[in-house]
Every structure is written in C-alpha cells, then in structure tokens.
Amino acid sequence: MSKYRDELPQLSGGLFLTDGGIETDLIFNHGIEIREFAAHTLLPDAGGREAVAHYLRGYLRLANEYDAVAKCFWRLLRCRSASCRGDSEGGESLVLQ
C-alpha cells in the first residue's frame, strides 16, 4: 500500500491545480511544432525552452493568484517536466544526445 495514500494534497479540501497538457497547448494554441508530440525535444533550443517556461509560468501564476496547491506533474521544479517521453523507454528517436 502506498505510504501517502491518505495524505494526497488534492484531498486537503483546498484548491488543487494541475497542468492542462503542454504538448497540446503549445501545438494547437501557439502553433509550435513539436517532434513526435514530445515537448522535451524543445529543450535544446532557447526558443523552445522559453515556450516551456512560459507554459509553466502561467500555471504558477494561477496557483499564486488563487492560493492553490500547485501540483503539476513530473520533475521540473516539482512541476510538469517536458521529459516524460525523453527516457530510453520513450523511443530511441526521442532520446536527446
């Protein structure tokens, strides 16, 4: 059994914020091309890093504005990382060198 099953932050009764899907937002709302729908492929480029940072800043701003628990997924600043497809299981063509 999970150690924190009864202490999940979304069960605290407060506002709980999660992200809305970085790849979908960047592709369809901002017209950014993302190779194989994997946002981590944007990270080697300064413009790509700024697009990811802009996406994350929007959610952090909302969390601050509404005093919400910011729960975005994966590794980046305990927020949503653009690397969920960047490991060796994500496909050899997506692993950054």
pLDDT at 70: 54
pLDDT at 77: 43
**Torsion sign across C-alpha atoms 11, 2, 79, 74:** negative
- pTM for this one? 0.66
The tens digit of pLDDT for each residue in 83-93 reads 555 555 555 55
Residue boundaries of the structural domains of the chain? 15-94
The tens digit of pLDDT for each residue in 9-60 reads 667 777 777 778 899 999 999 999 999 889 989 999 999 999 999 998 888 8
| CB proximity list for 44: less than 8 A, separation 6 or greater | 96
